[in-house]
Amino acid sequence: MPDTQALVNDFISKLKKRKIEGSQATAKQTAELLRSVISQTRVPYTNQAAALIQSVKAVGERLIAANPVELAVGNVVRRVLHIIREEDLSLTTAAMAGLNLSAVSDDEDDADRDNQPVLSAAAIAAASRSTLRPPSLQTLLEDVPDSAAIPHTSSSGGDSEGKSKSADKSSRSRKLKHDVIEAVNELIQDISTCHEQIAEQAVEHIHQNEVILTLGSSRTVLEFLCAAKEKKRSFRVFVSEGAPRYQGHLLAKELVMRGLQTTLITDSAVFAMISRVNMVIVGAHAVMANGGVIAPVGLNMVALAAQKHAVPFVVLAGSHKLCPLYPHHPEVLLNELRSPSELLDFGEFSDCLDFGSGIGAPLLHVVNPTFDYVQPKLVSLFITDTGGHNPSYIGEMYRLFVVSACGEGMNFKSEIMRTNCIAEGNFVKSSIRMRGINFFGKLEDRKSQFFCGCGEM
- Residues interacting with other proteins, by CB under 8 A? 241-246, 249-250, 252-253, 255-257, 259-273, 275-276, 297-298, 300-301, 304-305, 308, 331, 335, 342-345, 348-349, 352, 355, 357, 361, 363-369, 372-373
- Asked if omega into 117 is within 30° of 0 (cis), the reply is no
The residues, any chain, with a CB within 8 Å of residue 420's CB and separated by 6 or more, are 50, 54, 57
Which of 242/391 has CB closer to other proteins? Answer: 242
Report, in Å, the least distance between residue 369 CB and other proteins: 5
Report, in Å, the least distance between residue 208 CB and other proteins: 16
Report, in Å, the least distance between residue 215 CB and other proteins: 8
Report, in Å, the least distance between residue 389 CB and other proteins: 24
Cβ atoms 239, 251 nearer than 8 A: yes
Which of 313/401 has CB closer to other proteins? Answer: 313
Report, in Å, the least distance between residue 24 CB and other proteins: 21
Cβ atoms 315, 388 nearer than 8 A: no
DSSP result, 19-47: -S-SHHHHHHHHHHHHHHHHHH----SSS
Which of 129/249 has CB closer to other proteins? Answer: 249
Report, in Å, the least distance between residue 231 CB and other proteins: 18
Which of 298/318 has CB closer to other proteins? Answer: 298
Report, in Å, the least distance between residue 375 CB and other proteins: 10
Amino acid at the residue 67 = N
Which of 70/241 has CB closer to other proteins? Answer: 241
Q: Is 337 helix (H, G, I), strand (E, B) or coil?
A: strand
Between strands 210-215 and 235-240, the pairing is parallel
Amino acid at the residue 169 = K
Cβ atoms 419, 455 nearer than 8 A: no
Buried-state track 378-410, b at ≥16 Cβ within 10 A, e below 16: bbbbbbbbbeebebeebbbbbebbbebbeeeee
Which of 246/440 has CB closer to other proteins? Answer: 246
Which of 182/354 has CB closer to other proteins? Answer: 354
